[in-house]
A and B are shown apart, each in its own frame.
Chain A
Amino acid sequence: MQITLNNRIEELEGDRMTVSELLKVKNFTFKMLIIKINGKLIEKHQYDSARITEGDDVQVLHLISGG
């Protein structure tokens, strides 16, 4: 399937995956993340259940300290 990940087109195997699976495939190992699918916030307890499918717009934000 094709999705948009952080404003870039991304080709992924299969036609659906959970947020947890996407994080694993893309090697997102940061503990502190903000994830949105099609503009909607996905909370941590939803990572194993929230599905990503063809055409979805996924935004992943790594939170790092500094300010």
Chain B
Amino acid sequence: MTFDQIKSILSKKTVGIAGCGGLGSNCAVALARVGVGRLIIADFDSVSESNLNRQYFFRDQIGEKKTAALRETIRRIDPSVMVEALDMKLTAGNIPAVFSSCDVVVEAFDLAGQKEILIETMLKFFPGKPLVVGLGMAGWGKSELIHLRKSDNLYICGDEVSEISEELPPLAPRVGMVANMQANVVLEILLNSEIVK
């Protein structure tokens, strides 16, 4: 498949990204670069200095809402990508409405409790919709532990063991690996769905 063919398929697709931190910001940028037509990004947080060790934001964006800052970065890469930036806290109540129009949804939260709510809600309301989860990417090294586990429409990217802590912070290389792995899985799902048709 040529890049023009790939772009033509992806331009008609919508991907939802729940959370615009280390996973979400890097994953969104990768998907924008390959030409996904529409991105729905949701987060309630603002950019802070401590985010810059891994998240796709810049020093001059500190204080801005993450969704607005990420939309602006994507516009600078490719203004034809439609970005719906939702500055809101995702809950079990609003998740179904926010992501109902998506072909694929990416779970890109930080806290385990938020991941749990998103995965449970998506599996309950949209068991047929592909959901790509990031799980376990704190620290450095141990590249060989990062894997993809597939269970029906649920895709898990990460090492599933490295939880963040004071002594094991999330850092750009490993968070970026998982974020780009999630984007790679999304790409595979979207392109395969066209080949099957």
Q: How far is the CA of A65 from the CA of B135 in the complex (A)?
A: 8
**Residues of chain B from 38 to 70 with CB closer than 8 A to chain A in the complex:** none
Chain B: which residue is nearest A7 at the CB level?
B149
**Within 8 Å of chain B (Cβ to Cβ): is A59?**
yes
**Within 8 Å of chain B (Cβ to Cβ): is A25?**
no
How does the 8 Å CB contact mask read for B1-29 relative to A, with 1 for contact and 0 for none?
00000000000000000010111100000
Which residues of B are found within 8 Å of A65, using beta-carbon distances? 110-112, 115, 163-164
- Contact between A39 and B162, CB atoms less than 8 A apart: no
- Contact between A66 and B170, CB atoms less than 8 A apart: yes
Which residues of B are found within 8 Å of A39, using beta-carbon distances? 127, 151-152
Which of A7, A59, A64 is B136 in contact with, Cβ under 8 Å? A64
Which of B116, B119, B163 is A66 in contact with, Cβ under 8 Å? B163
Chain A contributes a number of interface residues (CB within 8 A of B) equal to 18
**Within 8 Å of chain A (Cβ to Cβ): is B84?**
no
Which residues of B are found within 8 Å of A64, using beta-carbon distances? 112, 135-136, 160-163
- Contact between A41 and B116, CB atoms less than 8 A apart: no
- Contact between B127 and A67, CB atoms less than 8 A apart: no
Listed in ascending order, the chain B residues whose CB lies under 8 Å from chain A are: 19, 21-24, 108-113, 115-116, 119-120, 123-124, 127, 133-138, 149, 151-152, 154, 156, 160-164, 170, 175
- In the complex, 16 of the A-B residue pairs with CB atoms within 8 angstroms, ordered by the A residue number, are A32-B112, A32-B115, A33-B116, A34-B116, A34-B120, A34-B123, A41-B120, A41-B127, A62-B160, A66-B110, A66-B134, A66-B163, A66-B175, A67-B22, A67-B23, A67-B109
Closest 4 CB pairs of A and B: A64-B163, A41-B123, A63-B112, A66-B164
